[in-house]
Structure 1
Amino acid sequence: MRSFIHALPKVELHVHLVGSAGIDTVLELARRHPSAGVPVDRSELERFYTFRDFDHFLKVYWAVQSMVKSRDDIHTLVVGLARDLAAQNVRYAEVTVTPYNHVLDGMSADEVFAGLASGRASASALGVELAWCFDIPGEKGLIGARETLAFALTSPEGLVSFGLAGPEAGVGRAQFAPFFDTAREAGLHCVPHAGETTGPETIWSAVRDLRAERIGHGTSCVQDPALVEHLALKGIPLEVCPTSNVRTQQVASISSHPVRQMLDAGVVVTLNTDDPPFFGATLEGEYLAVASTLGLSRAEVARLAENAVLASFLPNPRKTSLLEGIASVLEEFDGGTHGH
């Protein structure tokens, strides 16, 4: 199963740029910005990075964020992510970027965009196509939304979608509706986070108020059968991040994750990593964990890979090419037996 998962051409739909920074990338940034106080010794950094609890995750996340000061730093993040993806045979990723946070840290929007563009070109040379989702940091309120929309409307190369992240509790989704409406009119897809740390009502709001085309996480949807039915009926995909949900204690374990209920109900499930090195996750690892925990056949694993391709915002010819690649890998491994 491990070699089958590796061979599948894969798509990642929910990964945060700052949260994708692995040890090598952070070492490079820490040595470039020693005043940040992040360990510059590999073994010390590995200890600093070892996940302890959610507060510790935030501390590490903001430490990395604090070292992103220039277009070169953005470029370093993007290329580090691309290398990690290429090593796992991930062909395409839609990466969540929060430009407003970088601007608050003193960068200009132009510098952010220049780093993204050069990083994207380098990623392409590694065989990984990247696209961007600009997301509103919800805790920054309407000013964060206004600024993020302004960045999005400059139409940087590779931008495909508009999102909303940050703490869910106490941050109503409906207030962001006008920003999503404008983004949609500008041709962007709408992909807010919802139902990661709050109940089904947040997901309903994302669907009704923000007209979400995909939902980031959506973990709590299974608490509301009517919502599950709606998501399945409308074919609204969920960007499910199992290891992240376990690490942030939204679910107790992979085996108790509601991904099985989602699949059984006909919801379009895609597997993703969220903030992979922070949570000790990889996309291949997510597939393997879900496949082994749920006892999936190779055909069922291939279906998850297909879901991600179909839920992506790639043009149709690229989707077709990736789907053909998945089918040929399944044929090669199964010889028509479909893994049972």
Structure 2
Amino acid sequence: MSKISGPAAAALASLCPDNVIFLQSLPKAELHAHLNGSIPVKTILELAQKYPPSGAHAAEVADTIEKLGSGVDFNEISDFFFLMSVIYALTSTPEAVATVTRAVLQSFLNPADDGAESPQCAYLELRSTPRATTHMTRERYLVTVLDEIETYPATQAALIVSVDRRMSDLDLAECVSLAIEMKNRGRRVVGIDVCGDPRSGDMRSFTHHLSRAKGAGLGLTVHIAEHTANTTEDSLALLSCRPDRLGHATFLSDELKAFESADPCIEICLSSNLLGKSVASLDAHHIHYYLKNDHPIVICTDDKLPFRTSCLGEYSLLLAQPPLGLGLSRDDVARIARMGMDAAFLRPRDCRSRL
């Protein structure tokens, strides 16, 4: 098995072999995986050797890279954001971006090297924020990522362009325009995501750009009510754009849940919520509300790197008996997997037309 730890590993270890085989055989869609948060540790260490950290923060970066080998302890969801600065320091060139994108795609879509494990998922919508550095423009970044994604069939992989809550209006406009342009060129961009530090940004200023993306035929997913600091006004601004999917929705109030007239699919990331301490336990997890109300959900990994999980690990949390998991039946787990496949922005009928 792939090296995972924490709640997902405990749930997986508790399953009998037949149940593990059942979970592996399910066609699963991974619709909430951040590129930079899903890089295998091995790839980061190789990049660090090839491009040794330099500058004022070199020692701090080197220390963080060393800690990655034994796992990272996150006390709050905000603790994860420092790790991103380390990743960015190592992926500032098109060559490095291509390397990590290739590694992430392989980790999700290729069988394990020893052949003991099937691919983690049948379909992947990888998401990433276009970055401009001294070595590349945002357009070059996107083209580099897409070149790697498009080595896989359209039935297996696509890209969601993420925009960060901390972006200026000018940067936001550029990223949305690039996503639309790439889609119009026939490149495999299927959606827009709003992400970043949930405590930052005024989402009312984002609505025009998000509506423009939807009008161009792109799917829309938004990280929403991810933190207790997110206000009702913040969530209403995002919901006013009629997103197709909602990321996390951890602290969405009953009033706002009633606002979801279109029943957008909820991207559930169990290990992320537990280890980031945005939920206290599986018993207290908001997945119960959505299951009870037969609301569409999809099970996702979020950031495999810090949360040390996998698609198989996340599905194990559904099937394992309490307190290690939710204790759902095989039929319920299979239904959840189908809901995830149905929530993809690139639907099977679209895939066939693009092959």
TM, length-normalised to structure 1 = 0.83
* Counterpart pick for 1:285 among 313, 322, 325: 313
Answer yes or no: is 1:234 the counterpart of 2:265.
Answer: no
| 1:120 maps to 2:138 | no
Q: Confirm whether residue 14 of structure 1 aligns to residue 42 of structure 2.
A: no
Moved more, 269-278 or 24-33: 24-33
How many residue pairs align between the two structures?
Answer: 311
Unmatched 5+ stretches in structure 1: 321-340
Q: Indicate how the Cα distance of structure 1 residues 316 and 42 shifts in structure 2: closer, same or farther if over 3 A, else same.
A: closer
Percent identity of paired positions between Structure 1 and Structure 2 = 24
- SS of corresponding position for 2:217: coil
Instruction: Assess, with a 3 A threshold, how the Cα gap between structure 1 residues 121 and 183 changes in structure 2: closer, same or farther.
Output: closer
> 2:72 aligns to what?
50
1:28 equivalenced with 2:59 (yes/no) = no
2: CA distance, partners of 1:214 / 1:162: 10
Summarize the Cα distance change of 1:31–1:40 in structure 2 as closer, same or farther, 3 Å threshold.
farther
The one-letter amino acid of 1:213's match is D
- The alignment yields a C-alpha RMSD, in angstroms, of 2.6
2:125 pairs with 1:107:
no
Measured in 2, the distance between the counterparts of 1:177 and 1:28 equals 40
Q: 2:105 aligns with which of 65, 82, 105?
A: 82
Larger mean CA deviation between 29-38 and 301-310 belongs to: 29-38
1:99-128 Cα deviation digits (max 9, x unpaired): 0xx21565223431332133113444xx98
SS in 1 for 2:251: helix
Distance 1:237 1:44 in 2: 35
8 Å Cα contact 1:203-1:218 kept in structure 2: no
Distance in structure 2 (CA, Å) of the matches to 1:176 and 1:170: 12
Q: 2:15 — aligned with what? A: none
Aligned to 2:331: 299
Is 7-16 or 180-189 further displaced after alignment? 180-189
C-alpha separation between the residues in 2 aligned to 1:105 and 1:240? 36
What is the match of residue 184 of structure 1?
214
**Greater length-normalized contact order (CA 8 Å, ≥ 6 residues apart):** 2
Q: Residues 140-178 of structure 1: CA distance to partner in whole angstroms, max 9, x if unpaired?
A: 232331221232132151101112111223523221011
How much has 1:51 moved relative to structure 2?
A: 2.7
- Displacement of 1:185 in angstroms is 2.1
CA deviation after TM superposition for structure 1 residue 284, in Å: 1.2
Tell me the secondary structure at the aligned position of residue 242 of structure 2. Answer: coil
- Partners of 1:319 and 1:263 in 2: CA distance: 29
For 1:178 and 1:50, the matched residues in 2 are separated by 38
Deviation at 1:289, TM superposition (A): 1.0
Q: Is the 8 A contact 1:133 1:163 kept in 2?
A: yes
Whether contact under 8 Å (2:265, 2:297) holds in the other structure is yes
What is the alpha-carbon distance in structure 2 between the residues aligned to residue 142 and residue 283 of structure 1?
35
1:173 aligned onto 2:203: yes
Query: Which residue type is aligned with residue 161 of structure 2?
Result: F
Q: 1:296 to 1:179 in 2, by over 3 A?
A: same
> 2: CA distance between counterparts of 1:318 and 1:162?
18
> Which of 201, 224, 229 is the equivalent residue of 1:194?
224
C-alpha separation in 1, matches of 2:193 and 2:338:
23
| Aligned counterparts of 1:227 and 1:268: Cα–Cα separation in 2 | 16
Q: Equivalent residue of 2:332, what SS? A: helix
Q: Residue 13 of structure 1 contacts residue 272 of structure 1 at CA under 8 Å; is this kept in 2?
A: yes
One-letter amino acid of the counterpart of residue 316, structure 2: L
CA offset at residue 4 of structure 1?
Answer: 1.0
- Which amino acid counterpart does residue 86 of structure 2 have in structure 1? A
Question: How far off its partner does 1:186 sit?
Answer: 1.7
Aligned 1:193-212 pairs, distance under 5 A: 193-198=223-228, 201=232, 202-208=234-240, 210-212=241-243
Whether the 8 Å CA contact 1:243–1:254 is kept in 2: the answer is: no
Per-residue CA deviations over 1:64-115 (Å, capped at 9, x if unaligned) read 121112222121122111222124441211111100xx21565223431332
Unaligned stretches of 5+ residues in structure 2 = 1-18, 112-118
Deviation per residue, 1:221-261 (Å, 9 max, x gap): 2x31x433443x52211111111112221111223211112
Deviation at 1:197, TM superposition (A): 0.9
Opposite residue 43 of structure 2, the aligned amino acid is T
Secondary structure of 1:219's aligned partner: coil
* Greater fraction of residues in helix: 1
Partner of 1:310: 342
Q: Partners in 2 of 1:144 and 1:274 — Cα distance?
A: 24
Residues 2 and 230 of structure 1: CA distance in aligned 2, closer, same or farther (over 3 Å): farther
Kept in 1: contact 2:23–2:316 (CA 8 A):
yes
Aligned letter for 2:128? V
Aligned to 2:246: 215
Q: How far apart, in 1, do the equivalents of 2:202 and 2:256 lie?
A: 18
